Structure 1
Amino acid sequence: LHGAAATPAAADEPGWTAEPLAGSAPAAPPKAGARPYFYLAGPSGTVLEDRLALDNTGDREHTVTLRGADAYNTADGAFAVRPAEESTGAGGWISFGAGTTVKVPAHTRAVVPFTVTVPPDSPPGDHPAAVVATEAGHEVGVRVHLRVGGPTLAALTVEDVSVRGKGAAARVAYTLVNRGNVALTPELSLRADGAFGKVAGRGAHPVAVEVLPGQRVELTEPWPGAPVFDRVALTLTVTAPGGARATAGTSRWFLPWGIAGRTGVGLCGLGGTTAAALLLVRKRRTRGGDGGPPPHGSGAVPDRSAAPEHELTGASR
């Protein structure tokens, strides 16, 4: 399953759903209301329990296979789960016992208990995982938000800031890296300082992604206030609950294509004129210092101690 993010989750084809059983959580989720995912918390070495609800809404029986899986962020920040053979973390702590394969009759709900056995040496913090239900190649992932007791650290960095496009279509690209041990829901603000006046940035607002511990995500941010002509210094500030804060920046010239083209042509012309002038000076000096007689009537005496010609290029003696 790649990129599954929310529950209750529906199969790729109509017929059944998988979601946490309402009212069965040993610990309440962070927010009141329906259970969008499993929330489990306890110290290392403990065994936690919860229940999954499989609802068959169709007219035929379905056979669903259940497993645990490690969760991670895709490059663009989506929530995804790893295959069974790659789940060496919290996904491997999940067990359905004898209920790994469940037959669900038509128009019936099956309630399946499972356990999460936290190893004694598990580090504190969040351990992202998911329960995956599969039938005939169709997978549904239900997130397991698992926190092991102990000290937590909310920390992140912002890296690789750049600007793409221009004008109202400009976007700021950046990378967020979760350096702590808890999942982060960041907010971002953008400050822009122009060389020729005030430039509109963006105030603090939520970023539509949750960055899991140890994960790196590459994001872009709309910047409709980008100028048409200016040199701008950009500063991104990202914050998250728990005291996480990071800043990073970049700078860029914004030039209209017409001005940029004329400026380039003008510089080329100036370079050609300068080269011609230098060549003319060199020729004149060559005529006056080539060992021939001085101009008629000048009375000048050649200076035999003058510096060699090659010094015109700045070369050493």
Structure 2
Amino acid sequence: MTSRTRRGAVGLAAALAAAAAVLVSAPAYGGPAADAGWSAAPAPGGGSRPSAGGRAYFYLEGRPGSVLEDTVAVANPGDRPRTVELRGADAYNTHAGAFAVRETGRSTGVGAWVALASTKVKVPPRTRAEVPFTVTVPPDAVPGDHPGAVVVTGGGRESGVRIHLRVTGPTLSALSVEDVSVAATGSGAEIHYALVNRGNAALSPRIAVRADGLFGGEVLQRGARALPVELLPGQRVRLTEKWPGAPWLDSVRVTLTATAAGGAHGSATASYTAFPWAAAGFLLLGGGLAAAAAGGTYVRRRRRRASRASGAEQAGAGARDGDGAGADDGGHEAGCERTLADTGSGAAR
């Protein structure tokens, strides 16, 4: 089945007029059923890619200025009526692969392009209500993928059915890797990074990781593998790679390479120095002990040198004292002899 496309304001008015009444089908569940709430999903058939086995989301495709149609089904398996409200909303994909509604208070994308046949529906017990809606693609819409959703609220809970809208025209697949960093953990390290879709087509990225060490060449090599995320145009997600067994003493350069269909490619690197505090403390302690030992050796050597110098000075002083005493004694004896000579006592003999 091909996509039903209508153009212009006349086509939109006709589509809304045809969808003005909410269709309530015959009971979808036979026999009594417990009050299990309600569920929302694309109605069987319709859209650009209908499936006999049911559709997980709406897929619509058309040129700028076109009007696309589809139908959302709200099933009530319970035993009492349910009243739900419906609205269009912008959406995005989470890093876990699920989509989430972008609650900005005002739709600027697909949410503003959605027009529902009814925004409030009362669904009888054990029946299914089908609510037609249209998506009017603006004439100046950018080609590529545009995310949106039909959001259903009721009974204290909310559920969204994703709209995958592709506006036909030239597409660009572009991907970048940003903000790469590596942090040590108790069991190794973690590599943190961001992927950004810089093009206008949804991407299913793959990531490859490589790390080169300072001492031993390549220390990590992981081939490209698919990530559990669909990256929508303009979307940015933060992801983490676990690295058990990372080097505990090395300087490495980590390179992340992301690829996707359509030739999308991006790469980025980060440096990581592994230097555990235990090793640092050991080195500091060893350096302190070595310094203390060297200081002790220096002091002992200074003391020995000072002791030898003091002994030498004392020996020199003793030698000088002996030479002076001999000279004085000799002078004294000569003086005595002269005295005797002067008295003449020596001449009498």
Distance between the aligned counterparts of 1:32 and 1:216, measured in 2?
A: 34
In the alignment, which residue of structure 1 is the partner of 2:226? 206
In the alignment, which residue of structure 2 is the partner of 1:179? 198
- CA pair 248-264 structure 1, distance change in 2 beyond 3 A: farther
* Paired amino acid for 2:265: R
Could you tell me how far 1:239 is from its partner in structure 2? 0.5
- CA pair 205-32 structure 1, distance change in 2 beyond 3 A: farther
Task: Give the SS at the match of 1:201.
Answer: strand
- CA pair 91-238 structure 1, distance change in 2 beyond 3 A: same
Q: Check conservation: 1:37, 1:143, Cα contact below 8 A.
A: yes
- Larger CA deviation: 149-158 vs 76-85: 76-85
Could you tell me how far 1:271 is from its partner in structure 2? 9.6
Q: Check conservation: 2:205, 2:226, Cα contact below 8 A.
A: yes
Could you tell me how far 1:181 is from its partner in structure 2? 0.8
* Paired amino acid for 1:231: S
- CA pair 108-76 structure 1, distance change in 2 beyond 3 A: closer
Task: Give the SS at the match of 2:259.
Answer: strand
Deviation string 1:151-198 (CA, Å, 9 cap, x unpaired) is 111111111101123464421100111111112111101011112224
Deviation string 1:58-104 (CA, Å, 9 cap, x unpaired) is 1111011111001134588753212373212111111112x211111
**Is 1:235 aligned to residue 235 of structure 2?**
no
- Larger CA deviation: 151-160 vs 206-215: 206-215
**Which of residues 209, 220, 224 is equivalent to 1:190?**
209
Distance between the aligned counterparts of 1:34 and 1:169, measured in 2?
A: 45
* Paired amino acid for 1:93: W
Distance between the aligned counterparts of 1:249 and 1:55, measured in 2?
A: 50
Gaps of 5+ in 1: 1-12, 275-317
Q: Check conservation: 1:77, 1:217, Cα contact below 8 A.
A: no
* Paired amino acid for 1:185: S
* Paired amino acid for 1:151: P
Distance between the aligned counterparts of 2:123 and 2:102, measured in 1?
A: 25
Matched positions, count: 260
Q: Check conservation: 2:94, 2:229, Cα contact below 8 A.
A: no
Q: Check conservation: 1:76, 1:219, Cα contact below 8 A.
A: no
Distance between the aligned counterparts of 1:158 and 1:257, measured in 2?
A: 31
* Paired amino acid for 2:84: V
**Which of residues 125, 137, 144 is equivalent to 1:125?**
144
In the alignment, which residue of structure 2 is the partner of 1:39? 59
Distance between the aligned counterparts of 1:248 and 1:227, measured in 2?
A: 20
- State TM-score, norm by structure 1: 0.74
Gaps of 5+ in 2: 1-34, 295-349
Task: Give the SS at the match of 1:64.
Answer: strand
**Which of residues 133, 146, 150 is equivalent to 2:169?**
150
- CA pair 134-187 structure 1, distance change in 2 beyond 3 A: same
**Which of residues 99, 103, 108 is equivalent to 1:88?**
108
Q: Check conservation: 1:125, 1:150, Cα contact below 8 A.
A: yes
**Is 1:28 aligned to residue 49 of structure 2?**
yes
Equivalent runs, 1:1-317 vs 2, <5 Å: 14-25=36-47, 27-28=48-49, 34-73=54-93, 79-83=99-103, 85-97=105-117, 99-166=118-185, 168-197=187-216, 198-265=218-285
* Paired amino acid for 1:240: A
Deviation string 1:240-259 (CA, Å, 9 cap, x unpaired) is 11110000011112234321
Could you tell me how far 1:264 is from its partner in structure 2? 4.3
Structure having the higher Rg: 2
- CA pair 273-71 structure 1, distance change in 2 beyond 3 A: farther
Q: Check conservation: 1:194, 1:232, Cα contact below 8 A.
A: yes
For the aligned residues, what is the CA RMSD? Answer: 2.7
Q: Check conservation: 1:202, 1:223, Cα contact below 8 A.
A: no
- CA pair 234-251 structure 1, distance change in 2 beyond 3 A: same
